[in-house]
Amino acid sequence: MTYHKILVAIDRSPQADFVIEQVIDLAEKEKAELMLFHAIQVEALAEISPMVGTGMGLSPSLGREIPEIQQQRLEAQVRKTKEILQGYAEMAMARNIPTICHHTIGDPSVLSCELAKSWGANLIVVGRRGRKGMTELFLGSVSNYITHNAPCSVLIVQGALPVT
């Protein structure tokens, strides 16, 4: 099977560099285009806002500050995401791989599948953090969701397993 358009769902985990190295090698061999994608998840700060002033120990003045704090954090995340994606894109383009970057805000699982469909990707590459058991149950797994819902083939790059 030949891959022409490879979507790389990038998180900000320590293994992201390893995933990128693997996918750049693959894209070079396949003469494929790359789309480097990161979905910024909105932090749990939004969940605090309804509790302000309800006797939970949160000052009503905090309610006015939360949107500003959220906006500042989001802007910082967007800047950092652009910087990371651009760095990875430069690595790929140095090897003559056509590369575009895309970032958005939301659930990386769902958005990766939607973007793969709309862009016409025939492969999604995603890293795996190795969550298991209760951790995976409560925190979820982007790679698991993508595997079961992707409109195309999926390559999961296993990160280094912890030494026990």
Residue of higher predicted confidence among 139 and 58 = 58
Q: What is the pLDDT of residues 56-66, one digit of tens each?
A: 445 555 556 76
Work out the average pLDDT over 111-119.
Answer: 98
Percent of the chain with pLDDT over 90: 59
Q: Mean of the per-residue pLDDT values for the chain?
A: 83
In this predicted structure, what is the pLDDT of residue 72?
86
- Residues 112 and 126 sit within 8 Å (Cβ to Cβ): yes
Task: Spell out the domain ranges in the chain.
Answer: 5-39+61-157
In this predicted structure, what is the pLDDT of residue 56?
47
Token pair for 50: 């309804």
Work out the average pLDDT over 17-42.
Answer: 95
Q: How would residue 137 be classed by pLDDT, with cut points 50, 70 and 90?
A: very low
Residue 113 pLDDT more than 90? yes
Token pair for 74: 């989001």
Q: What is the pLDDT of residues 65-99, one digit of tens each?
A: 767 888 888 899 999 999 999 999 999 999 999 99
Q: How would residue 48 be classed by pLDDT, with cut points 50, 70 and 90?
A: very low
What fold, for 5-39+61-157? Rossmann fold (3.40.50)
Residue 86 Cα to chain centre, angstroms: 14
- Residues 40 and 111 sit within 8 Å (Cβ to Cβ): no
Token pair for 32: 């494929």
Token pair for 17: 């560099």
pTM beyond 0.85, yes or no: no
Residue 55 pLDDT more than 50? no
